[in-house]
Each structure stands twice: as structure tokens, then as C-alpha cells.
Structure 1
Amino acid sequence: MDIRYVNPFIESFASVMPQLGFGSVTKGNLSAKERELVSSGVIVVVGIVGSIKGNVVYVINMESAKKIASQMMMGMPVNELDDMAKSALSELTNMLTANAATFFSQLDIPIDISTPTLLHGENVSVEMSSNKVLCIQLLADGIPVDINISFEK
């Protein structure tokens, strides 16, 4: 995968998360994954079309998802993943992916994004759009978010 397709997501996370009140944004692990992702927690799928086609899948474990949703809702406690928390997490991924689209446009790579689809549970399986999936773990105040990126040739 072309590294130019990864950097917009890193730049977006570094730009958006501080606006939501997170003080520290750091990079975690970088790994390659298979086409079929099996994850537990909150999984949000966003499609990408335009000059490049594919999808991005955000994976957040349940406790981390509650912490992020709480931060987005001005510190309101989130004890369970209710509709308000799900909405906040969907909006976060929408903001992150839309911001990445802006960074792509600065590289003369115009893209459009789909509405986020949020799934949650144990051992949720998601089929990516290509066999090559790159996973970047990014952390906001130590809270990990895995961003799985897959683009078709």
C-alpha cells in the first residue's frame, strides 16, 4: 500500500482528537492484517470512493469506546454503549474520515466517504475491500484506536 494513503489518517487523528479535548496523541503499532478482520468491541466501517476505492475500519475496545464517548459528551459518564454513545462514536469516525479526505484532496486525490456503519459485540467479522490491510494503532491520552485501511488497486 502506498504510504501516501496512510498519512492522511494519521494527520487527521492528530488534528481532530485535540479538538475534542484529548491532550496527547501518539502512534502505536503498525501491522499488516488479513482481508477478514475479526474484532471485539466497537467496529465502525466507512467506505471510500473516488480516485481510490476501499474502506477504513475503526476498532475500539468497549471500555476505550466508553471513555472516548464520555469525552465527546463533555465528561458525561458512559456506563453502557447506549444510543447517545454510539452516535458520538459514529460522529467521531465521520469527523476523522472526512478530515482525512481533506488531506487526500491536498495530495490531489479526491475521495468521498460513506456514512459510518457501527457494529459492536464479540468476534465481529468484517470483510475488507482488498487482501492487503494496514492497521495503524493511534492513541489519544493512552486510549487505543485501531485504524484498518484497505484500498483496491
Structure 2
Amino acid sequence: MDVKYINPFVQAFFSVMPQLGFNEIKKDGINLKEDNLTNSGVVMTVGIVGEVKGNVVYCTDLENSKKIASVMMMGAPVEEFDEMAQSAVSELANMLTANAATFFSEIGITVDISTPTLLYGNNISIKMSSSQVLCVKMSADGIPFEVNISVDN
């Protein structure tokens, strides 16, 4: 997978997270995964269409999703992963992917994105759109966050 398809997602994380109130943003590693992802916690998937096609799947655990929602809601305590917290975390997936689409446009690649789909629970299985999935491990204020990218041009 060409790095030019990965960098917009990494740039988006470094751009969006500080705007939401996170201070320490890091890229913690990159690895390849199979096209069948299994995750427990919170999974947000967004489709990508246009000159690049595929999907991106964001993953973190339930407790960290509540922490992210709390930061996004100006520090309001989030005890339950209720409708408000789910909406906040879904909006994060939307913001990250829309920002990545903007970075794609800056390198001359036009893409559109779908509305995010949020799933949560144990052993969530997702079949990615291509056989090659690149997982970028990110963190914001110590909260681990996976960005799983599966695109073809």
C-alpha cells in the first residue's frame, strides 16, 4: 500500500485531536493486518469512494471511548456509553475521515466519505474491502486508538 494513502489519515489525527482538547498526540506504530478484523470495544467504520476506494476502521476500547467522549464534551463526566457518548465518538470518526479527505484533495486525489457506522461489544468481526490492511496505532493523551486503513486506487 502506497504511503500517500496512509499519510492523510495520520495527518488528520494530528490535526483534529488537538482541536478537540487533546494535548499529547503520538503515532505509536504501524503493522499489517489480515482483511478480517476482530475487535472488542468500540469500532467506527467509514467508507471511502472516488479515486481511492475502501474503508477506514477506527478502534478503541469502551472505557477509552468514554474518555474521548468526555474530552469532546468539554470534560463532562461520561459514566455510560449512552447515546450522547456514541454520537460524540461517531462524530470523531466523521471529523477524522473528512479531514483525511481534505488532505487527499491537497495531493490531487478526490474522495468522498460515507456516514460513520458505530459498533460496540465483544468480538466484533469486520471484513475489510481489500486484502491488505494497514493498522496505524495512534494515541491522544495516552488513550490508544487504532486506524485500520484498507484502500485501493
TM-score range, shorter chain: over 0.9
Alignment-derived partner of residue 14 in structure 2? 14
Distance in 2 of aligned mates of 1:71 and 1:44: 18
Once the two structures are superposed, residues 92-151 of structure 1 have per-residue CA deviations (whole angstroms, 9 ceiling, x without a partner) of 010000000000000100000000000000000001000100000111011111000001
Number of aligned positions between the proteins: 153
Alignment of 1:3-152 (within 5 A): 3-152=3-152
Distance in 2 of aligned mates of 1:9 and 1:151: 12
Give the alignment's Cα RMSD to 1 decimal. 0.7
In structure 2, give the amino acid aligned to 1:128.
Answer: M
The gaps in structure 2 that reach 5 residues or longer are none
Distance in 2 of aligned mates of 1:140 and 1:22: 6
Q: Which runs of structure 1 show a deviation greater than 3 angstroms over 4 or more consecutive aligned residues? A: none
Q: 1:152: Cα distance to partner?
A: 2.8
- Once the two structures are aligned, what percentage of the paired residues are identical? 60
Distance in 2 of aligned mates of 1:119 and 1:152: 24
TM-score of the two chains, using structure 2 as the length reference: 0.98
Distance in 2 of aligned mates of 1:133 and 1:10: 15
TM-score of the two chains, using structure 1 as the length reference: 0.98
Distance in 2 of aligned mates of 1:22 and 1:74: 11
The gaps in structure 1 that reach 5 residues or longer are none
